[in-house]
Amino acid sequence: MGAALRPELPGLGDEIIDAISRGVPDYARPLEGPFGDALRVGVAEALRQFVELVENPQEDRAAGRRVYVELGRAEMLAGRSLDALLAAYRLGARVAWRRLAAAGEAAGLDPETLYLLAESIFAYIDELSGESIEGYAREQSAAAGELQRLQRRLAALLIQDPAADASAIEAAALEAGWPLPRRLAAIVAEGEDADRLALRLGADVIGVQVPPHVCALVPDPDAPGRRPQLEGAFADRVGVLGPTVPWRGAGVSAARARATLGLLQEGALDAGRKTLISADDHSLALLLSADRRLAGDVASAALAPLEGETAASRDRLSRTLLAWLRHRGRTELVAEALHVHPQTVRYRLGRLRELYGERLDDPDGRFELELALRSTAAPSR
């Protein structure tokens, strides 16, 4: 059969190219330049390999696959879908079948052989299509991986401390294809899967690993419906949402989210049943933890009058004082918060006045006492 088909190959290649340029809209132009050259090579190589397979079905054609893998890659790099290339393969198969069937019939091949020839042609085209699909998918995967790398680099620049130069960030954002939002917020969580976390938070979110945590940057986190979407991504772990800031303040948002997560991990904060915690809800705790030695010194000085009390009395008086400060001296509310009788509150306040005197009437003194009690994580009851 090969002897009957080989003489048709040179003219058949030109006929297929002409049919493709007329029958596939995306290629309805002069097939010139690198892609035109690659397509002509691909057609000629396909015909040559097909005839060799007809003559020797056992031949290994692994070496010839690269041409069609590269054609698929070229389509991806050109920003086109594979539809046009696969349509060209199908059209080329029909042209080849008509021409080769006519040649086979003229050479006296029996109908059964011609049927086998048709099956072989279309099975072969399926193989070529699969190879181009593979090449397209490989390039698509590589492009996605490169884009993720560029976006991770951008996220790292945005949260860097000290802050990166704004022009460097703008250039990195352009390269990563990520428009810098007017406002954003950082989310920090445990784990090593920054890309997976970003994907779960939204298509416009980018992430980077900041060991031992991952950080994701969320554009416009206060948009309608955005918060439930973010909370839905944290069914299996706890995350902290930093404050919403202009993009130039991304490092501040990330730093506060990391600090809040640290307090949660230490047990200094109680997340309750929440899985996405807002750093803005714990600003005072963050402030007090910024310089823990200073906070400890302030607390020790402010609470020194209680040192002479027994441990049980010191605990009761501390809880009462904090509740009194929080409820601005309203005895009934203090009693309700502590689950005790108002008369018990009055008795304890009498003792506190013996210990602190006029300091309880001084606004600065009261402020310092509340900070001291909060910094020692005194219970609220």
What is the distance between the alpha carbons of residues 220 and 223, in angstroms, rounded to a whole number? 6
Q: Which residue has the tokens 């990330």?
A: 254
Coil/strand/helix, residue 278: strand
CA within 13 Å, CB half, 92: 30
Report in angstroms the alpha-carbon separations of 73 from 68, 77, 203: 9, 6, 25
**Global pTM exceeds 0.85:** no
Q: Where are the alpha helices (DSSP H) in 273-341?
A: 283-290, 292-302, 311-326, 331-338
List, in sequence order, every residue forming a beta bridge with 276; answer none if it has no partner.
239
What local confidence, expressed as pLDDT, does residue 303 receive?
Answer: 87
Termini Cα distance of the chain:
95
Token digits of residue 154: 């951008």
Task: Give 214's DSSP letter.
Answer: E
What is the distance between the alpha carbons of residues 255 and 260, in angstroms, rounded to a whole number? 9
What is the distance between the alpha carbons of residues 31 and 18, in angstroms, rounded to a whole number? 9
What local confidence, expressed as pLDDT, does residue 61 receive?
Answer: 56
What is the distance between the alpha carbons of residues 107 and 121, in angstroms, rounded to a whole number? 18
Task: Give 280's DSSP letter.
Answer: G
What local confidence, expressed as pLDDT, does residue 216 receive?
Answer: 96
What is the distance between the alpha carbons of residues 283 and 24, in angstroms, rounded to a whole number? 63
What local confidence, expressed as pLDDT, does residue 29 receive?
Answer: 63
Query: Residue ranges of the chain with pLDDT lower than 50?
Result: 378-381
What local confidence, expressed as pLDDT, does residue 32 receive?
Answer: 63
57: left (phi over 0), alpha (psi -120 to 50) or beta: alpha
Token digits of residue 231: 């909370």
Token digits of residue 291: 């310089």
**pLDDT, tens digit, for every residue of 10-62?**
778 778 888 888 888 877 666 666 667 777 777 777 777 777 776 676 665 55
Token digits of residue 21: 């340029």
Strands (E) across the chain are located at 183-190, 206-210, 213-219, 239-241, 245-246, 276-278
**pLDDT, tens digit, for every residue of 341-355?**
999 999 999 999 999
